[in-house]
Structure 1
Amino acid sequence: MEHGRQVDLLNCADEPIHIPGSIQPHGALLFFDTAGLLQGWSANAGALLGIELALGAPYASLALPPAALELLLDYVGPGDAEQTPSMVPLRVNGAHVDCIVHAAFGRVVAEFEQREVGADEVALFAVKAHASIDRLRRQKTIDGLLGIAVDQIREFTGFDRVMAYRFRPDDSGDVVAESRRDDLVPYLGQRYPASDIPAQARRLYILNTLRSIIDVNDTMVPLLGAPGALPLDMSHAVLRSVSPIHIEYLKNMGVGASMSVSIVINGRLWGLIACHHMSRKLVPYSIRMAADVLAQVMGSTIHSIESRLESQMIERSASTRTKLVEDLLLEDDPLETFGRFADAVLAATQSQAQVTSYYGRLRVHGDVPHELAEAIVASLPEAHDLVLRERLDDWPEPLRARLGKWVGLLAMPFDPPAQGWNLLLRVEQIEQVAWGGRPEKTSTIGPLGGRLTPRGSFDAWYETVRGHAHPWEATILASARVTLAELVRVMTSRRTQTEATRAQLLAMLGHDLRDPLHSINMAGMVLEKGHSQPTLGKRIQSSTSRMQRMITQVLDMSRIDGGLGLGVTLEPVDLTALVKDLMDEARLAYPAIPFQLICDEAAMVNADGGRIGQVLSNLLSNARHHGEAGKPVRVCVKVDGREAVVAVSNAGAPIAPEIVATLFNPFKRASLHNPRNRTGMGLGLYIAQQIVREHHGEIVYRHDGNEVIFSVRLPLLNS
């Protein structure tokens, strides 16, 4: 049989610690097949048990105490199902021995562990352990539970130091509670790297929740069996020998004996109770089992506490979500709604800031600079699901230097067509981590020769960890996904309702108003020609013409939103001649305003002359309307490569950035309090952009010097 192999830190992650081929020397081990035939034993078994051993011997033929044979009878038989351990106390050669039997992996294993105290003392320990269990069940907080647990376990086991580890998502562990002898250096608050417990050791901690090492200076006892036989899997064994790497690790800590008890919750290694003694220590099996039961009670209680906290968080999130959704159905402006609920949302998600974006506008709740909020929104991808960032490396590289403390992001695209985002931000968690010695491996000469060896110093080694926010909890992410689905549903409902209302309005404008407007216009013409009220007639005609244009714009928008397009008819158009005609009309209508054609290069385009005229008329009207009094409106027609460019400019200050973001939107909430546009409607530029797009061109805004400039680019004919 294989008796283990040489290991070091280069291969310890692959060390087969479940089949070491040896046991600790304070006991003996026999193993049988499921029929009860002896397959092997530890080299010390014959002497310790005082019996003769032979391969293939039936268990009943062995001169074992009757109680041990009765216990074995419960485990041998057909099949190879696993059976949990049972124990019976024995007297063997005048010594106290605990016989522990279990079945696993097609074998029945009997372990005989020496006990150095009598049954009366074990019973006294059991009474103390029972009282400890009662106390633990009454705890309401995890910290309080762990603090009492280490005190109680130390009291009834007698270890010099008892620590409670709590594992992090990256498998590193923090010492969160400690009870120790006064002269020992405290380890409370120190963190230990995930590499201290390799993956195969974690598996065994879950499979076999209690591990005892009696003396780090012991010489292990090999197992004997038939040549070529499969090695004995000792995952469930109590006498399993110890990896030389772990022995060296304990010696470096100055530990003579140890015991560890796993805290397992839902099949996950949540934490560990680690017990250290500075010299040899054998804790009776019954007392160890009491500690194991205690850990199970701890796991159950911790799970209850975490479930209660999780339920409270879910309830709080659900309440906030319900109220938010109800208000969104009623509130015209989602930014206002998210703003009112910002404090509740931040509390429910344990975030420190909220940024909401809608149609290019931002609302910030928290001390995030507005420019940074804009940059964060701009960095988001097109998405219909949550966007998560938890550390600096998750962000686009150009933005990292600007983030400052805002490292964590949970972004919900609640209305993608309107660029609607609700962003939750978390600050960087700057941690001063007290590692239990430097966590990295170092090359040195150890007891097993020159190799990588476990660290030799466990003095606290401090490291400042930056660039990480607290990870987004699974509960918060699950709630955020539910919230996002509700928000999308609400915004879709709002959009549907808005579209239905808009369709009704457009029908009214298109059919119910045109006939009376035509009649009014005709009456104005009669008044003007009759010479009785020419001024009134002109005013009536001007007003009705403006209303007709508005109706035309609204109907155009209806076609655009309905996906019908504007129905352009393309033909060769002399763009320069068209511009000159439009400017002549503008000069006649507004003789007080200087309209200047500052360049007029020849430019032929394939276009719908009426629609392009509509675009340029809108730009001339805007320039006249918003330009500084007495300053000219300037127009330039030129050729740039394969494109014709018409630039319309007027003297004026730059347009505010928040307005630029929605410049070509049909409804501009930023303009609601503008005396020149109290309705917030701006269909002209919206329709102009759509017309230019249908001509495969573009329309853009810029500010140069003291001029506001809108440029239209169209492909040249045959370009």
Structure 2
Amino acid sequence: MAAPRRVDLQNCADEPIHIPGSIQPHGALIFLSDAGLVEGWSANIAAVTGREPALGQPFGALGLPDAVTELIQECSATMIAGEGPAMVAAVTIDGRDYDCVVHAHVHRILVEFEVRDVGMDEVAQFAIKAHSSIDRLRRQRTVDGLLETAVRQVREFTGFDRVMAYRFRSDDSGDIAAEARRDDLVPYLGQRYPAGDIPPQARRLYVLNTLRMIADVGYRPVSLLGAAREGAPDSEPLDMSFAVLRSVSPIHVEYLQNMGVAASMSVSIVVGDRLWGLIACHHMTPKRVPYSVRMAADVLAQVIASTVQGIEAREDAALVEHAAQVRTSLVESLLLEEDPLEALVQHGDGLLESAHAQALIVGQYGRVVCRGIDRALGEAVAAALPADANDILTYGCVKEWPDAVRPLLGKWAGLLGLPFDPPTDGWCVLLRTEQVEEVAWGGKPDKSMSGPMGERLTPRGSFDAWHETVRGRAHPWEDGILTHARMMLGELTRVSNARRAQTEATRAQLLAMLGHDLRDPLNSINMAGMVLERTDGGSNKGTLGKRIQSSSNRMQRMIGQVLDMSRIDRGLSLGIDLQPVDLAALACDMVEEARLAYPTIVYDVHATGPAFVLADSGRLGQVISNLLSNARQHGEPNHPIVIRLAPQDGQAVLDVANAGSPIAPETEATLFNPFKRGSLNNPRNRTGMGLGLYIAQQIVREHKGEIAYRHENGNVVFSVRLPLAPRQAS
């Protein structure tokens, strides 16, 4: 057999505990090939069978009791893909009682003889007690009550000094949720043990083989002897994952010794293929528990697992039912309510309850509505959300939040975000408060680097409660709530898409009306104004005609801006027809037009000469007109508007400047956005919708140019850069 590897700092995490190469000494073992030939045995086998087996010997020649031979034959006959479940028989050899356990694993048959110190009558009494315990467990309706009953019942029919029920968390640390103990022992109830106390390979074995017994922690292991099956180039270590006598890790032995434990039994509670919990039994002196009694405890653990599953299923079903009601009611409101944010806030209580959250933030189009949280903080949280999210977003602790918002969080630590309409920055955000937790660890949760086995990882020596205050964490988002959140996100997204489709259809109808039904009447009104102006007979008809023309022209411009924005939003070109245009002459024409309309405004034009660009003169005139209009509306009174044009580095640079204070940074960031808040109810621009700069930027971009804002020498300056026509550029 391959010698067991040394367990040290280098390979502790990969310790091969399923192939220890030895067994515990309160029994003996023989293992056979799937053909029934001897492949190996424990060094103490002769003490049981009275003879030393030979490599390759048929099991029928070993002189084993008939009951054992029958088990081996049945195991071999029922083996599937090299695996076979455990079968047990009570046998007596040379006046000594044994439980013989036979099972198959990895195409080998393992035959184990475990010494039994009590008679079958006493074992039967244990079984009766276990059956009564199972009935009591099935009647429990809460997890806490279930575990309390379990530890009392297991201690009663096994006789261990201490029986504890661990419940594992999502991070694999475990809390002692229930305990039954001898009165003189220090209580461990409520203590938490770190995930590292059960390394991954041990956790895997706890799921595969749900019961583990160490009769004497201070035992001396018995080595396995023999060789691999014939024809194999090297020895194959015996996989003892399901063996009852498997020797245990020296680190685990040391761990138990540091706790003052002399015998141990653990029974796994496996729920949904995950190690949900553990019944851990400790005794302060060596102790053997008959195999049949251990199996009763194992059945008890399966009943616990089934009951836990039932309790959690009922809780999940109640959550699902409530969540479904909230979703249905919310979707109905969203389909009827004009403002989706108001609908979300109206259903805030249901959303918070179904997610076990304490605050709600909903936002869309830059607007934020809060419930249970300060508005300023809600806006800061909304501003820190990622722009490209398309699935639920979760934070469980403060460290996971973006750096910019962490100092503002205060008591908040957990976030569950639903990006229901990314194009409009639509978010529904649920928050959980920080759960300040006083953790009583079972000893300081670390390991030292030296010990009785030399330079190696050593378990902690003290298991007195070691207290730690954990801050900055919220209660983790449960799987059921995350499932509900994804379903909610799907419903919200579908509603948002339906609303957007309806809005697009309505907008198309409105634009058609603006483009056709309104333009014709406006043209008629404009013509009537011109007639009134020309037929002025000394009355006020001429003034009235000019006013009608001015108003109708302004309405025409507004309609044109809306139609232009619609083309841009749909990804269409504005219809640019490029021809050589003298930008200087065009700018002078636009300034003269502005002087006639606003004779009190001083326009100061500086142009070094012609500046030809390839442009659409109508669209470029629209840009210049918009910049002159902005300068007139926002400039300081009694200050000139300065227009400068000069070639620079192969570009024509047109600056339009007006006296004024710098634009605030938050406003500057949205200067070229449509429907800016600053454009609404602006006393200097009551009819503006904020579309002018947005459209101007698109026009300049279609001319392969740039438009930008700067502030210099007390002036607000908008600068347009366009490539000079090839001939002038050269």
Q: 1:637 aligned to 2:644?
A: yes
Distance 1:311 1:391, change over 3 A: same
Identify the residue that residue 504 of structure 2 maps to in structure 1.
499
For 1:99-114, what aligned pairs fall within 5 Å after superposition?
Answer: 99-114=100-115
Distance 1:57 1:558, change over 3 A: closer
Q: Cα distance, 1:209 vs. partner? A: 0.5
For 1:155-554, what aligned pairs fall within 5 Å after superposition?
Answer: 155-226=156-227, 229-367=235-373, 370=376, 373-374=379-380, 377-378=383-384, 380-397=386-403, 399-446=405-452, 448-530=453-535, 531=537, 532=539, 533-554=541-562
Asked if 1 retains the 8 angstrom alpha-carbon contact of 2:387 and 2:425, the reply is no
Identify the residue that residue 19 of structure 1 maps to in structure 2.
19
Q: Cα distance, 1:503 vs. partner? A: 1.9
TM-score, normalisation: structure 2: 0.87
Among 556, 565, 569, the alignment partner of 2:577 is: 569
Asked if 2 retains the 8 angstrom alpha-carbon contact of 1:583 and 1:595, the reply is no
**SS of alignment partner, residue 503 of structure 1:** helix
**SS of alignment partner, residue 653 of structure 2:** strand
**SS of alignment partner, residue 267 of structure 2:** strand
Identify the residue that residue 85 of structure 2 maps to in structure 1.
84
Asked if 2 retains the 8 angstrom alpha-carbon contact of 1:67 and 1:90, the reply is yes
For the residues of structure 2 that align with 1:141 and 1:500, how far apart are their CA atoms?
54
Letter in 2 for 1:26: H
Q: What stretches of structure 2 of length at least 5 have no aligned partner?
A: 229-233
For 1:563-602, what aligned pairs fall within 5 Å after superposition?
Answer: 563-571=571-579, 578-579=586-587, 581-591=589-599, 594-595=601-602, 597=604
Letter in 1 for 2:177: V
1:452-471 CA distance string (max 9 Å, x none): 32221222233344454444
Q: Cα distance, 1:300 vs. partner? A: 1.5
**SS of alignment partner, residue 442 of structure 1:** coil
Q: 1:4 aligned to 2:4?
A: yes
1:291-310 CA distance string (max 9 Å, x none): 11111111112222223323
Distance 1:614 1:515, change over 3 A: same
Asked if 1 retains the 8 angstrom alpha-carbon contact of 2:28 and 2:114, the reply is yes
1:586-627 CA distance string (max 9 Å, x none): 443344x54454977779473434323323433444555567
TM-score, normalisation: structure 1: 0.88
For the residues of structure 2 that align with 1:599 and 1:2, how far apart are their CA atoms?
95
Asked if 2 retains the 8 angstrom alpha-carbon contact of 1:572 and 1:717, the reply is no
Distance 1:328 1:246, change over 3 A: same
Q: Cα distance, 1:635 vs. partner? A: 4.1
Among 715, 718, 722, the alignment partner of 1:711 is: 718
Asked if 2 retains the 8 angstrom alpha-carbon contact of 1:670 and 1:680, the reply is no
Identify the residue that residue 138 of structure 1 maps to in structure 2.
139
Q: CA RMSD for the aligned pairs? A: 3.5
Q: Cα distance, 1:656 vs. partner? A: 10
Asked if 2 retains the 8 angstrom alpha-carbon contact of 1:34 and 1:77, the reply is no
For the residues of structure 1 that align with 2:448 and 2:700, how far apart are their CA atoms?
68
Asked if 2 retains the 8 angstrom alpha-carbon contact of 1:596 and 1:632, the reply is no
Identify the residue that residue 32 of structure 2 maps to in structure 1.
32
Distance 1:670 1:117, change over 3 A: farther
Q: Cα distance, 1:425 vs. partner? A: 3.6
Distance 1:514 1:180, change over 3 A: same
Asked if 2 retains the 8 angstrom alpha-carbon contact of 1:669 and 1:680, the reply is no
Identify the residue that residue 687 of structure 1 maps to in structure 2.
695
Asked if 1 retains the 8 angstrom alpha-carbon contact of 2:697 and 2:707, the reply is yes
Q: Cα distance, 1:165 vs. partner? A: 1.7
Asked if 1 retains the 8 angstrom alpha-carbon contact of 2:380 and 2:405, the reply is no
For the residues of structure 2 that align with 1:392 and 1:27, how far apart are their CA atoms?
54
1:328-381 CA distance string (max 9 Å, x none): 333333332333233332332333433333222323334256267346534514
Distance 1:118 1:6, change over 3 A: same
Aligned length: 714
Letter in 1 for 2:216: D
Letter in 2 for 1:93: D
Identify the residue that residue 646 of structure 1 maps to in structure 2.
655
Distance 1:159 1:633, change over 3 A: farther
For the residues of structure 2 that align with 1:330 and 1:570, how far apart are their CA atoms?
48
For the residues of structure 2 that align with 1:487 and 1:701, how far apart are their CA atoms?
39
For the residues of structure 2 that align with 1:411 and 1:611, how far apart are their CA atoms?
43
Pick which of 693-702 and 315-324 moved more. Answer: 693-702
Asked if 1 retains the 8 angstrom alpha-carbon contact of 2:361 and 2:378, the reply is no
For the residues of structure 1 that align with 2:192 and 2:165, how far apart are their CA atoms?
12
Identify the residue that residue 231 of structure 2 maps to in structure 1.
none
